[in-house]
Structures are given as C-alpha cells and as structure tokens.
C-alpha cells in the first residue's frame, strides 16, 4: 500500500465514515477524510440528535399538565420559546462537531474540507488536490427528496426544519415514515396545530400492523390531525401562510410544510457513474458482504448502500469493514437480523425482530402475547394515554422472534429486550425472569395469557 498517498480515503464524515476512519487508523493505516458540509453527518446535525432534543422539548407539554395530579401547581401557564430551543440546539451541535474533529485529529486522520470526487479506482480529487489511496470509502449518506408538485419549493425538509425562524402555529408533515410521524408529534407537543398527510392507508409501513394502528389512535388522541389516503396536490403562498391543496379536494392553511417523503443516496457529483460503479434499482450503491462495490478498491457503507438507515447500523458496518480490510480478522458477514429501532413519536415506539405479519409468513404457527394498559403514572396524572406491549413467539421452538412496544421511553426499554431477542431466548426464559415492580417493563416478563395464534 506504500505506493499510494493513503491506505484509506473516506468520502463523508458522518457516523459511519468517522468510525471507519478512526478504527482503520488504529490498525496503523494512513487515513484521510473529506467532508464538505458538517462533521457527524445527518445524525448529529439534522437527524437523530436534534430530533431527540426537540422530542424532549415537546414532552414537557404533557409533563406540565400531568404534574397537577401529583400536586404541582404552576404559578402561570407555561410559555414555550422556540428561539431558545433552536439556539441551544445549535450550540450543542457545534460542541458535537468539535468533538468529532478532535476524535479524527487524535486518531491521526487528516481532515479535508471539500466535496471529493472519485477520479479513478485509486484517486480522488478534492479541494484542488489529487490524492491516491489503496481503498476509497464512500460514506456520504442520503439527502432529502421532495416529489414534483406545484409549490414544492415552499416546503422544507429535515435539513431545514430544525432552524425555522419562528415556531409555526400550524404545521403539516407530508409522509408516512419515521421523520413525518416524529415531527407531527413534536410540533403538536410544542403547541402547533399539527397535520400529517400520507398517501397510504396507514403510516410506518413495514412495522407491526397492531403497533401502527395503536400509534395512530394515540397520536390522534393527543391532537395530531391525520389525513390518510391523500397527497399534496399543490402548495400556494397566501396571505398569512401556505395553502395546501390535497388530492382528495381538501385544502389546509398552515405556516410550514415539512416534506418527509424519503431520502435518496447522495451520490451526485461523486464520479461513480463515470467509473461504472454498479447501483441498485433505487439508486443506492451496490456492495457485497465485504462492502466492496463493482470496483473492488471502492467501498461503501451506511445509508448510501440502501440498507437500514440507522446510525448504529452504519457504525457496525464501519467496524466490520475495517476488520475485513485492515485487520487480520475475517469475521462472518454482518447479521442484519433483529436490529432494534425506535420511532420518537408521542408516545414512542420501540421494536425488535419480526412483526406479527412477518412471523406468520416465516414461521407459520406463532403465538402472540399482548397487553395494553394505562400506566401507573397516569392513574394520578389524569392522562388517558395507554401503553402497548407485545411478544411474538415461534410456536415450534418457543423462541421470542419479535418484541414491540408503544409507550413512554419505549426505545430505552426495547434496547434491553433486544439482547434477549438477539440471543434467541424463549418465552419460557422470559417467563422465568422475575420482574421489577412497579414498572411498565415488567409486563414483558409477566404476559402469560395467550392473546391469539
């Protein structure tokens, strides 16, 4: 590898790119990273981190109200200041950007500011330099995409929604995935009149059907206005806001529209097409189990490859890639089964393993244990919010193949359950586990009554 300037050149300093750069450098490899926007990528800057901070902010609305049942009396009606949240978020993201910079520096990784272009199988051009590398890693992630309709330029994406000049009194999220559902809840919690418009009959396609239905009812009960089986036909600027005309003939007046209609691989201008790097049908970069593209010296990982668009997946792929290409270890291919995930809508969703529908297809005979209840907290708070917990069991082996929750802190709780599902524990193992009382979590080890087969 001494014939090249670097052993590894990484394009993109997001979660996956930075982890790959640092771990490769730890093996003794010479590494450089190019980034043209911000350190930490989507997750740190316009994704997971700021979204969770805004979700926390939105939960205070319920917390102030719930506190009354426990004896807390506020001297006046709480007031929310959007600028404080927005600006504090900016300071926190800047702090994280600096941490990422220090991590690269301490690892001995060179950081280059600029959008790199792949010139050939072993050469990139960036910031006026032509640099050679034994291996080039594409880790540029995805970019928001807005469908083509009149007035699309009036909508914002997840890149801009965190930094709106002011809190919209009326907010509309277009889409049915994580981002749309989460932001519909967030702005509702912050006090906006919140709408969600989705072309399908129910949001969060691919999740467990019962989870989706339960979430729909809970979000609607909290005040989110749901518009299914319709789409945005056009957006027009009118006095006092935006007029959104839907394909069902309905018209809504709002102050901001978030187009959360999907993300596409951010490969434009990278030069991969000129090299003949093979793409998947959705435009993502096609890779093998070693994260090699059709040009073996060019690697790719994370959202740009079309896999699960989750930060922990990109991190796991980065460490796997380094083991395969820069260490002596030859690990088995990365196992993408039983990856836990959370949706930070209100209430939260946490899930791991198979949905009931997937389990029926894969295992045939299954057992379903489920419960929904009003948590102890709300016996005094007065809130009618309910919690759903559900276990899917393969009947022949008794293995728990799926666990799902809709409720407060579902993501925190499901992380622990994910270990059990990943380990292949059985329903008997769950039943033999003594619960922690009184918690909502104990329901996962006390569900004995079969709900259905």
Question: Which of 91, 122, 346, 437 does the annotation list as catalytic?
Answer: 437
227 and 276 in a single domain? The answer is no
Distance set, CA 148 to CA 145, 235, 252, 337, 389 (Å): 10, 11, 19, 35, 39
34 and 74 in a single domain? The answer is yes
353 and 369 in a single domain? The answer is yes
Confirm whether 346 is a catalytic residue: no
Tell me the CATH number at 384: 3.30.390.30
137 and 171 in a single domain? The answer is no
451 in any annotated domain: no
249 and 288 in a single domain? The answer is no
Q: How far is 203 from 180, CA to CA, in rounded Å?
A: 9
18 and 61 in a single domain? The answer is yes
313 in any annotated domain: yes
356 and 374 in a single domain? The answer is yes
16 and 138 in a single domain? The answer is yes
The token duo for 209 is: 């059907």
138 and 172 in a single domain? The answer is no
123 in any annotated domain: yes
The residue assigned the tokens 């244990």 is 369
Q: Is the peptide bond before 438 cis (omega within 30 degrees of 0)?
A: yes
pLDDT values of the chain reduced to their tens digit, one per residue, 453 residues: 569 999 999 999 999 999 999 999 999 999 999 999 999 999 999 999 999 999 999 999 999 999 999 999 998 889 999 999 999 999 999 999 999 999 999 999 999 999 999 999 999 999 999 999 999 999 999 999 999 999 999 999 999 999 999 999 999 999 999 999 999 999 999 999 999 999 999 999 999 999 999 999 999 999 999 999 999 999 999 999 999 999 999 999 999 999 999 999 999 999 999 999 999 999 999 999 999 999 999 999 999 999 999 999 999 999 999 999 999 778 899 999 999 999 999 999 999 999 999 999 999 999 999 999 999 999 999 999 999 999 999 999 999 999 999 999 999 999 999 999 999 999 999 999 999 999 999 999 999 999 999
453 in any annotated domain: no
Expressed as residue numbers, the domain containing 93 is: 6-143+264-326
CA atoms within 13 A on the CB side of 334: 24
Q: Is the peptide bond before 136 cis (omega within 30 degrees of 0)?
A: no
Count how many domains the chain has. 3
Q: Are 18 and 35 within 8 A, CB to CB?
A: no
Q: How far is 432 from 445, CA to CA, in rounded Å?
A: 8
36 and 114 in a single domain? The answer is yes
336 in any annotated domain: no
Q: How far is 41 from 45, CA to CA, in rounded Å?
A: 6
CA nearest neighbour of 303 among 284, 289, 323: 284
Tell me the CATH number at 75: 3.50.50.60
253 in any annotated domain: yes
56 and 181 in a single domain? The answer is no
18 and 134 in a single domain? The answer is yes
Label residue 202 exposed, middle or buried (CB < 10 Å: 0-12, 13-18, 19+): middle
């Amino acid at each position: 590898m001494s014939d090249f300037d670097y052993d590894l050149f990484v394009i993109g300093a997001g979660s996956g790119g930075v982890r790959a750069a640092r771990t490769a450098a730890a093996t003794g490899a010479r590494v450089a990273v190019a980034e043209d926007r911000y350190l930490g990528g989507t997750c740190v800057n316009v994704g997971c981190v700021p979204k969770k901070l805004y979700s926390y902010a939105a939960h205070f609305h319920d917390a102030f109200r719930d506190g009354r049942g426990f004896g807390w009396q506020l001297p006046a009606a709480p007031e929310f200041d959007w600028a404080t949240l927005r600006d504090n978020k900016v300071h926190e993201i800047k702090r994280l950007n600096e941490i990422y910079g220090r991590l690269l520096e301490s690892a001995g990784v060179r950081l280059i500011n600029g959008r790199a272009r792949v010139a050939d199988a072993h050469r990139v051009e960036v910031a006026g330099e032509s640099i050679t590398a034994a291996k080039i890693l594409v880790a540029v992630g995805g970019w928001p995409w807005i469908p083509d309709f009149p007035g699309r330029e009036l909508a914002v994406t997840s890149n801009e929604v965190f930094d709106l000049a002011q809190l919209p009194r009326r907010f509309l999220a277009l889409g049915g995935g994580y981002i749309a559902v989460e932001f519909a809840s967030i702005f509702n919690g912050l006090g906006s009149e919140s709408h969600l418009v989705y072309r399908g009959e129910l949001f969060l396609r691919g999740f467990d059907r019962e989870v989706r239905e339960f979430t729909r009812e809970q979000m609607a009960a909290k005040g989110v206005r749901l518009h299914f089986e319709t789409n945005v036909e056009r957006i027009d600027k009118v006095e006092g806001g935006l007029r959104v005309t839907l394909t069902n003939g309905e018209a809504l007046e709002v102050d901001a529209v978030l187009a959360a209609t999907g993300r596409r691989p951010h490969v434009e201008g990278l030069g991969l097409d000129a090299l003949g790097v093979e793409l998947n049908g959705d435009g993502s970069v096609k890779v093998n189990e070693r994260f090699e593209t059709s040009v073996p010296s060019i690697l790719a990982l994370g959202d740009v490859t079309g896999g699960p668009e989750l930060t922990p997946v990109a991190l796991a792929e980065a460490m796997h890639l380094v083991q395969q290409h820069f260490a002596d270890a030859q690990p088995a291919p990365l196992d993408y089964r039983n990856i836990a995930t959370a949706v930070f809508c209100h209430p939260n969703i946490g899930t791991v393993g198979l949905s009931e529908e997937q389990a029926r297809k894969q295992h045939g005979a299954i057992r379903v244990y489920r419960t929904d209840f009003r948590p102890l907290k709300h016996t005094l708070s007065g809130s009618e919010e309910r919690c759903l917990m559900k276990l899917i069991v393969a009947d022949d082996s008794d293995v728990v193949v799926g666990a799902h929750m809709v409720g407060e802190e579902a993501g925190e709780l499901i992380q622990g359950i994910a270990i059990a599902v990943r380990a292949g524990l059985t329903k008997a193992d769950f039943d033999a586990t003594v619960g922690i009382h009184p918690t909502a979590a104990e329901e996962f080890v006390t569900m004995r009554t079969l709900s259905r087969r």
